Amino acid sequence: MTAVRCIAVINQKGGVGKTTIVANLGHALGLAGKRVMVVDLDPQGQLSTSLGIFRPPVHGIDEVLLEQKPLEAVAVHTRENMTLVPAGRRLMEVEHLNDGGTARAWLLDKAMKRDAPEQDFVLFDCPPASGLLSANAVMAADEVLIPVSGDYLALNGVAHLLATLKKFEPIRRRALQQWVVVSRFHTRRRLSREIREKLLKHFPQKVLATPVREVAALAECPAAGRTIFEYRRSSNSAQDFYQLAQDLIERRAI
């Protein structure tokens, strides 16, 4: 049996496509026969909504972090091969924990070790902030997946984020594999293409081969509570996520 790959989908910048990627890449991995757990670490709880749960779930990762509940007690089956751990109502309290010193950043890692979920992939959907929840994701993860959207400021942000992640390495005491995924990519926009070129130049061997294109249907999915494979199975977007799942499985970066 191969070890579980825990991947934090992270970027402190908002709206770059983190939740979209966790929901759709998660489903794509499931369709490829991999066992996947997606975890909503954003108190906004949009991952649950994106997967069709419109009433905010009562139980979630908040109870795992605050009360040491087992992961299985709060995980819900959502698609074939795919389980969801919702945010829960009290997740924001974790961001504001004052007691516990540095141990506060290890709560998720401890839970993952304690419960050792039998999965091939665990994806963490991080909030758009570099607070305690994101720190927990980085401590618990083996890899980070950084979505970078096609605007200039996003490019600036990624260098800053990678520098921040570097600071975590001595504390984590193990390497953190970094992946960049070009998200919200406008095929016909020159700026988008330039930014992709810059990413390839500055972060060689880290950029996953397939960019996720900006497609209207993808933005319509959360309101329908469906992934792109349920909403528009033969769209370009569905193809992007099939390919991206393969990139991740085969560690196909350029």
Question: How buried is 106 (Cβ within 10 angstroms: 0-12 exposed, 13-18 middle, 19+ buried)?
Answer: middle
At 153, list the tokens.
């400021």
Q: Which does 215 bind (CB under 5 to 8 A by kind): Mg ion, ligand ATP, none?
A: ligand ATP
Nearer to ligand ATP, 43 or 117 (CB): 43
62, interface contact from Mg ion, ligand ATP, none, CB < 5-8 Å by kind: none
249 within 8 A of 143, measured Cβ to Cβ: no
The whole-angstrom separation of Cα 193 and Cα 181 is: 13
CB of 184 to ligand ATP, least distance (A): 5
CA nearest neighbour of 126 among 218, 52, 26, 17: 17
The continuous run of DSSP H or E covering 242 comes out as: helix 236-250
Which two structure tokens, joined as six digits, stand for 134?
Answer: 């994101």
* Helices within 44-184 (DSSP H only): 46-50, 61-67, 71-74, 91-95, 107-115, 132-140, 152-172
CA distance 218 to 149: 15
Q: Which residues between 38 and 77 bind ligand ATP (CB under 6 A)?
A: 42, 46
Residues 149-188 that bind ligand ATP (CB under 6 A): 183-184
Q: Which of 18, 34, 206, 226 binds ligand ATP (CB under 6 A)?
A: 18
- Least Å from the CB of residue 18 to Mg ion: 5
In the complex, minimum distance from the CB of residue 87 to Mg ion, in angstroms, rounded to a whole number: 11
Q: Which of Mg ion, ligand ATP, none is residue 56 near (CB under 5 to 8 Å by kind)?
A: none
Sole binder of ligand ATP in the list 20, 48, 49, 227 (CB under 6 A):
20
| Count of beta carbons in the 10 Å neighbourhood of residue 193 | 16
Query: Taking contact as CB under 5 A, which single stretch among the options 15-23, 168-176, 198-206, 213-221 is the one that binds Mg ion?
Result: 15-23
For the window 16-55, what string marks contact with Mg ion as x by the rule CB under 5 A? --xx------------------------------------
Site for ligand ATP, rule CB under 6 A: 14-20, 42, 46, 128, 183-184, 212, 214-215, 218-219, 222
Residues that bind Mg ion (CB under 5 A): 18-19
